[in-house]
C-alpha cells in the first residue's frame, strides 16, 4: 500500500506552503472577546538519506503522538523508505527529496526498509523506527 500522495510533498515547496498555511490560519474570538489562535503544531524534522545500501540515520527515535516530518533524500539509484506498520511507502530518485508527515500512534520498534529493488545490497537496506511513550 502506497502512502497517500497528499501526505508527500516536494521538499522545495515546503517553506512557502508552511508560511501560507500559518498566514491563513484563522483566529477565533472566545466568548469573553479574547483572540484564540488555533493550535498549530510544527513537526520535528528528521532528514534521512536512502543510498546504496543503507539509511542514514538507520535508527530513528520518536515519541508516540509527536508530529514528525521525514525529509527523505535518494542517492545512487531509486530507493524507497517504507514503514509498513504505519502504511508508509515513498520512493525517491537520486538527489530527489520528499517529505513525509505523520504522527506515530503506537509504541514499539518497527522495521524501516527499502521496498524498491536497488541492487545486490537491497536486502540489507534496513533500519528501525523506535516509538517511545505511554
| CA dihedral sign, ordered 119, 3, 60, 17 | positive
How many alpha carbons lie under 13 Å from residue 99 in its C-beta half-sphere? Answer: 18
How much is the pLDDT for 20? 42
Q: What is the pLDDT of residues 100-124, one digit of tens each?
A: 999 999 999 999 999 999 999 999 9
CB-side neighbour CA atoms (13 Å) of 31: 0
What is the pLDDT at residue 126?
96
* pTM (whole model) above 0.95: no
Instruction: Give residue-wise pLDDT tens across range 39-92.
Output: 578 999 999 999 999 999 999 999 999 999 999 999 999 999 999 999 999 999
Which domains, ranges and CATH numbers included, belong to the chain?
Answer: 54-134 (2.60.40.420)
Amino acid at each position: 500500500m502506497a502512502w497517500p500522495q497528499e501526505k508527500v510533498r516536494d521538499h522545495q515547496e515546503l517553506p512557502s506552503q508552511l508560511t501560507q498555511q500559518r498566514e491563513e490560519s484563522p483566529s477565533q474570538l472566545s466568548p469573553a472577546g479574547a483572540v484564540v489562535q488555533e493550535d498549530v503544531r510544527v513537526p520535528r524534522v528528521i532528514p534521512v538519506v536512502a543510498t546504496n545500501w543503507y539509511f542514514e540515520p538507520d535508527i530513528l527515535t520518536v515519541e508516540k503522538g509527536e508530529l514528525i516530518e521525514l525529509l527523505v533524500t535518494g542517492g545512487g539509484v531509486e530507493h524507497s523508505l517504507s514503514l509498513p506498520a504505519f502504511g508508509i511507502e515513498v520512493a525517491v530518485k537520486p538527489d530527489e527529496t520528499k517529505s513525509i508527515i505523520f504522527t506515530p500512534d503506537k509504541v514499539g520498534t518497527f522495521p524501516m526498509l527499502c521496498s524498491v529493488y536497488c541492487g545486490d545490497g537491497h536486502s540489507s537496506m534496513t533500519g528501525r523506527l523506535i516509538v517511545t511513550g505511554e
